[in-house]
Chains A and B, each alone.
Chain A
Amino acid sequence: MSTTGSNSADSPMLNPQNPHNAGRPFWLLAELTYKCPLQCTYCSNPLDLKGSGRELTTEEWIEVFKQGRKMGATQLGFSGGEPLVRRDLTTLIREARAMGYYTNLITSGLGMDDRRVADFKEAGLDHIQVSFQASSEELNNQLAGSQKAFQQKIAMAKEVKAQGYPMVLNFVIHRDNIEEIDKIIELSIELQADFVELAIAQYYGWAFINREHLLPTKAQLEKAERITNEYRTRLEAEHEAATNGSGGSCGNGAGQSAGKKASKPPKLIFVTPDYYEERPKACMNGWGNIFLTIAPDGTALPCHSARELPIDFPNVRDESLEDIWYRSTGFNHFRGYEWMKEPCRSCDEKEKDFGGCRCQAFKLTGDAAAADPVCSKSEHHGKITTAREEAEAIAAGAAGHSPKLARNTHNQQQAIELVEQNLIFRG
């Protein structure tokens, strides 16, 4: 996303209304519910699915949208869990769209039908992102933990395009599906996706406790990226030929192909995983910089994983969004550079990556203010290289250390205990 996210600083003087000179929350992610019919092991939702409080009501959500829009938010994502579980989704879309948001529905497709796709369109929904688990029915359903998932997704992806929406397909890529990335791309072309996110799993929430079962090897990753690049080149060339081509199908007369629009091939977005980098990502473009997540119970977060941090985050039921964004302790926690420790504090790259991801730092080192261990300058970088070695060993047939846990309320206690007992990864 290309934005110009910084507010022009009128003066270096401290503004008590905005003490850290924070940018606007361009992106508002509304996690409407943690309920979901699928059980993906790479889910980034918190382990404690049940412990979250009462979900915000329709009116409370609308109030949040209103306040966010006033603060300059333009993108609104309806996410979850599975947002389709909310029966008031059409109302929420209608209200948000009327306020001027670009509205994105981020869904598994389960719980949708042609009628609902049409209702959303009429309410003004701008875009639908459908997630898939794999390109084959068997693997998809196995990974999703649902026997009907794949056919439903295919039907809904077709419906989304038939009703004229821009469509993003999202595939979380991990060890069990990375070898079929070519088939995944083929499926996306067939379904006429506008964008395809090939997102190598990141390790938060449920994905973190299942990391051992998800992290691909370096060789797998490089192969997947190479195949993706080959498709990019091929699709581009084919489209070029179809658009400019004088080699049209019918030979009777000129101009036949001139007005014909070849449908555009999907844009392939390959999201590399942190675990194979030597420098961390500029997580969320900086803490509390452009991104604001509201959890189902109204907890406001700088990203959808921040709930796992030992920080008290404010709730939209208690405070205005402006107070939360500009002035709450939670949101100001990691703004600026004062909080940094070495090696970040004196690092000449700190303005580029902001020390990386706070959640990853906390999960792997126990200290949320430490450097993201993805960075090779971190004294904990060994946690990352160990994980890579584990991935190699398991690919070579070694047994893993931890159980594979499907994301559901039944497994949540076991998942939480694994983390509490430090059984996983901190060693």
Chain B
Amino acid sequence: MSNAIQTSQIPTLNSIYRMQWEDSQESWVLLYPEGMVQLNGSAGEIMAQVDGQRTVADIIAVLESKFPEAGDLSADIIEFIGVAHEHDWIEFS
């Protein structure tokens, strides 16, 4: 990853992927041609906020208000957004 993530950027799901909640796995999964990525709890929460409208800052705000006891989430979220971008799960519009 060469470029730092800016909180003003708007992530959007790469069109190769479809994301959905799987009851049987109790987790969010990313489905793509003949494959699947199972997301862990926090990754799933973050990815579920990626809608092509919200900026990274919006996503941080939404999740911090959803999980007030967790404190400052910005570093973790920015780091994960970077990882997701590296994996091509998301693009920046």
Q: Is chain B found bound to chain A in the same assembly?
A: yes
Partner of B31, one of A71, A102, A195: A102
> Is B33 in the interface zone, CB < 8 Å from A?
yes
Residues in A neighbouring B31, C-beta threshold 8 A = 74-75, 102, 126
| B interface bracket (residues with beta carbon within 8 Å of A) | 20 to 34
Specify the chain B residue showing the minimal Cβ separation from A261.
B91
B38 contacts A166, C-beta separation under 8 Å: no
Take A4-B38, A102-B18, A164-B15 as given contacts and tell me if A195 and B24 are in contact as well, using a CB distance cutoff of 8 Å.
Answer: no
B33 contacts A195, C-beta separation under 8 Å: yes
A72 contacts B24, C-beta separation under 8 Å: yes
Query: Which residues of chain A in 153-186 are interfacial with respect to chain B, using CB atoms and an 8 Å cutoff?
Result: 164, 166, 168
Specify the chain B residue showing the minimal Cβ separation from A70.
B24
Residues in B neighbouring A100, C-beta threshold 8 A = 20
B16 contacts A166, C-beta separation under 8 Å: yes
Q: How far is the CA of A4 from the CA of B37 in the complex (A)?
A: 9
B33 contacts A2, C-beta separation under 8 Å: no
B36 contacts A75, C-beta separation under 8 Å: yes
> Is A127 in the interface zone, CB < 8 Å from B?
yes
Specify the chain B residue showing the minimal Cβ separation from A244.
B2
Residues in B neighbouring A1, C-beta threshold 8 A = 34-36
Q: How far is the CA of A270 from the CA of B82 in the complex (A)?
A: 28
Give a binary string over B16-49; 1 marks a CB under 8 Å from any A CB, 0 the rest. 1010101011000101111111100000000000
B34 contacts A77, C-beta separation under 8 Å: yes
Residues in A neighbouring B25, C-beta threshold 8 A = 4, 72
- Give the secondary structure class of A's interface: loop
B15 contacts A2, C-beta separation under 8 Å: no
Q: How far is the CA of A74 from the CA of B36 in the complex (A)?
A: 8
Residues in B neighbouring A210, C-beta threshold 8 A = none
> Is A194 in the interface zone, CB < 8 Å from B?
yes
Take A3-B36, A168-B34, A261-B91 as given contacts and tell me if A74 and B29 are in contact as well, using a CB distance cutoff of 8 Å.
Answer: yes
A2 contacts B35, C-beta separation under 8 Å: yes
Q: How far is the CA of A195 from the CA of B32 in the complex (A)?
A: 11
Residues in A neighbouring B24, C-beta threshold 8 A = 24, 71-72
B34 contacts A75, C-beta separation under 8 Å: yes
Specify the chain A residue showing the minimal Cβ separation from B21.
A100
Q: How far is the CA of A313 from the CA of B20 in the complex (A)?
A: 33
Count contacts on A: residues with CB < 8 A to the other chain: 26
B37 contacts A2, C-beta separation under 8 Å: yes
What is the minimal beta-carbon distance from B47 to any residue of chain A, in angstroms?
Answer: 15
Residues in B neighbouring A188, C-beta threshold 8 A = none
What is the minimal beta-carbon distance from B89 to any residue of chain A, in angstroms?
Answer: 12
Take A72-B24, A164-B15, A166-B15 as given contacts and tell me if A26 and B33 are in contact as well, using a CB distance cutoff of 8 Å.
Answer: no
Q: How far is the CA of A129 from the CA of B33 in the complex (A)?
A: 8
Give a binary string over B49-93; 1 marks a CB under 8 Å from any A CB, 0 the rest. 000000000000000000000000000000000000000100100
Specify the chain A residue showing the minimal Cβ separation from B33.
A127
What is the minimal beta-carbon distance from B29 to any residue of chain A, in angstroms?
Answer: 7
Q: How far is the CA of A126 from the CA of B41 in the complex (A)?
A: 25
Take A100-B20, A244-B2 as given contacts and tell me if A26 and B36 are in contact as well, using a CB distance cutoff of 8 Å.
Answer: yes
Query: Which residues of chain A in 1-21 are interfacial with respect to chain B, using CB atoms and an 8 Å cutoff?
Result: 1-4
> Is A360 in the interface zone, CB < 8 Å from B?
no
A126 contacts B18, C-beta separation under 8 Å: yes
> Is A108 in the interface zone, CB < 8 Å from B?
no
A168 contacts B91, C-beta separation under 8 Å: no
Q: How far is the CA of A129 from the CA of B45 in the complex (A)?
A: 31
Residues in A neighbouring B37, C-beta threshold 8 A = 2
What is the minimal beta-carbon distance from B39 to any residue of chain A, in angstroms?
Answer: 11
Specify the chain B residue showing the minimal Cβ separation from A2.
B37
Residues in B neighbouring A244, C-beta threshold 8 A = 2-3
Specify the chain A residue showing the minimal Cβ separation from B25.
A72
Take A72-B22, A72-B24 as given contacts and tell me if A168 and B35 are in contact as well, using a CB distance cutoff of 8 Å.
Answer: no
Q: How far is the CA of A18 from the CA of B19 in the complex (A)?
A: 29
Residues in B neighbouring A75, C-beta threshold 8 A = 31, 34-36
Q: How far is the CA of A383 from the CA of B91 in the complex (A)?
A: 49
What is the minimal beta-carbon distance from B15 to any residue of chain A, in angstroms?
Answer: 7
A104 contacts B34, C-beta separation under 8 Å: yes
Q: How far is the CA of A313 from the CA of B42 in the complex (A)?
A: 42
B36 contacts A166, C-beta separation under 8 Å: no
What is the minimal beta-carbon distance from B16 to any residue of chain A, in angstroms?
Answer: 5
Give a binary string over A59-74; 1 marks a CB under 8 Å from any B CB, 0 the rest. 0000000000001101
Given A3-B36, A104-B34, A168-B33: 4 more A-B contacts, CB < 8 Å: A2-B35, A77-B34, A127-B33, A166-B32
Q: Can you sample 7 A-B contacts with CB below 8 Å? A: A24-B24, A74-B36, A75-B36, A104-B33, A104-B34, A127-B32, A166-B16
Which B residues are within 8 Å of any A CB, using their own CB? Answer: 2-3, 15-16, 18, 20, 22, 24-25, 29, 31-38, 88, 91
Which A residues are within 8 Å of any B CB, using their own CB? Answer: 1-4, 24, 26-27, 71-72, 74-75, 77, 100, 102, 104, 126-127, 129, 164, 166, 168, 194-195, 244, 261, 264
